[in-house]
Amino acid sequence: MSRYLIRNILVALSSFIVFLSATVSSAPYSVNPGDILKIDVWSEDLLSREALVRPDGFISLPMIGEIDTTDSTPSEVSDTIAQALSEYMKDIPQVVVSVQSVAGNKIYVMGKVVRPGEYNITSDTDIIQALALAGGLNTFAAENDILILRREADGTQVSIPFEYATVKNGKEMHTNIVLHSRDIVVVP
């Protein structure tokens, strides 16, 4: 095959991959420690309230006590609360949990960036966007040695390499992954 044909196939394949990644819907939001939840129990004003998710992932509610929100969506927390309240009520109550503050949805950028620190994120944020939040790389940054440190659900920590220079030049765009809450971007 000619180099021209191979190049066109690669360009088409790259465009298709970008199209697929843009059309894939993001995962539902998981409640994080530090978030503030608004809990509404239909026709039970005394049970409706706001609750801060503690660092251990639990919230405390009257009558039912401790509720674990770890790795749960707001809808799943609603179901858990409704089920727990049903022990004290004639019917299963209608419970709606909404996230009032995503203060627990944070990423961290450290190392050789202009403004290292902790950043609250309110939408899907990829590595390049996180670096932009931090003011970009400083002059001495090793742009091809960036790491993303991520703690998995089982507690193990993984390291994901990222080559900024490659993405900056419009190549390997699939490596510009969306960050998860509590990810750490390390720029040596």
Distances in Å between the Cα of 26 and the Cα atoms of 18, 29, 86 are 15, 9, 32
Give CATH superfamily name and number for 36-101.
Answer: wza like domain (3.30.1950.10)
What are the domain boundaries of the chain?
36-101, 105-187
Mean pLDDT of the chain: 87
pLDDT digits 0-9 by tens, 51-81? 999 999 999 999 899 999 998 999 999 999 9
pLDDT digits 0-9 by tens, 170-188? 898 999 999 999 999 999 9
Residue 24 has a pLDDT of 44
Alpha carbon dihedral 177, 180, 184, 185, in 10-degree steps, equals: 20
Which class for 3: exposed (0-12), middle (13-18), buried (19 or more C-beta within 10 A)?
exposed
Architecture of domain 105-187: Roll (3.10)
Grade residue 103 by pLDDT with cuts at 50, 70 and 90.
Answer: confident
115: its two tokens: 């403004």
What's the rounded mean pLDDT across residues 21-33? 68
pLDDT digits 0-9 by tens, 113-134? 999 999 999 888 999 999 999 9
HSE-up (13 A, CA, CB side) for residue 109: 24
